[in-house]
């Protein structure tokens, strides 16, 4: 006896619903990624005492404004929010990707930004053999870039997109999680 065959058009309808759901909640996803990355970088340096290298500072310079721009753009329901977010996230992904290559390969052993203070090739965190701090930043920047790309249609502004409560809940949840982590680590 064979399994019932799916109805024609069922998969495209489900994909369409998922796509719409992602477009509506893309700002919240980007906000969560930015605040997690910002709080994560502060956790590594301020709680765990890891000194950021030169490339880590560039990544912070590109991430921290996103943690401010995203909630402001969401609260103002700015349909052009993606215009501000895309350049920061793209440049951040490039810097993080470069930093990850500096850590994991010998391709850029001559990197100038990495010869003063803490070496950029230093690996403080090495989970599962490939997850380092620059890899974490790269992941956040890519999530933010993809979410900002999904915001381009502005559907989240007119639809049931995020509001004050979801911004407060997202930021509050991330801050509370990192406060708990800092307390447990301290």
- Tens of pLDDT, residue by residue over 20-60, are 777 788 899 999 999 999 999 999 999 999 999 989 999 99
Structural domains in the chain?
A: 28-185 (1.20.1550)
Q: Facing residues of 131 across strands?
A: 127
DSSP code of residue 117: S
- Tens of pLDDT, residue by residue over 120-173, are 888 888 889 888 999 999 999 999 999 999 988 777 776 666 677 788 888 888
Contact 161, 75 (CB under 8 A): no
Contact 138, 96 (CB under 8 A): yes
Query: How far is the C-alpha of 117 from the C-alpha of 125, rounded, in Å?
Result: 18
Helix (H) or strand (E) holding 60: helix 54-75
DSSP code of residue 115: S
Q: Among 178, 87, 105, which Cα is nearest to 141's?
A: 87
Query: 102 exposed, middle or buried (CB, 10 Å; 0-12, 13-18, 19+)?
Result: buried
């Amino acid at each position: 006896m064979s399994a019932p065959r799916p109805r024609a058009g069922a998969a495209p309808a489900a994909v369409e619903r998922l796509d719409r759901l992602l477009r509506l909640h893309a700002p919240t996803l980007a906000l969560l990624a930015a605040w997690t990355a910002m709080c994560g970088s502060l956790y590594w340096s301020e709680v765990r005492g890891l000194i950021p290298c030169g490339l880590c500072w560039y990544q912070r310079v590109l991430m921290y404004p996103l943690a401010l721009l995203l909630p402001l753009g969401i609260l103002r329901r700015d349909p052009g929010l993606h215009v501000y977010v895309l350049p920061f996230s793209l440049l951040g992904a490039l810097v993080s990707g470069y930093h990850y290559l500096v850590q994991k390969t010998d391709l850029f052993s001559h990197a100038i930004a990495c010869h003063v203070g803490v070496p950029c090739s230093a690996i403080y965190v090495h989970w599962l053999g490939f997850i380092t701090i620059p890899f974490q930043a790269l992941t956040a920047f890519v999530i933010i870039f993809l979410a900002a790309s999904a915001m381009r249609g502005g559907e989240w502004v007119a639809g049931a997109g995020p509001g004050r409560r979801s911004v407060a809940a997202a930021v509050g949840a991330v801050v509370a999680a990192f406060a708990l982590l800092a307390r447990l680590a301290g």
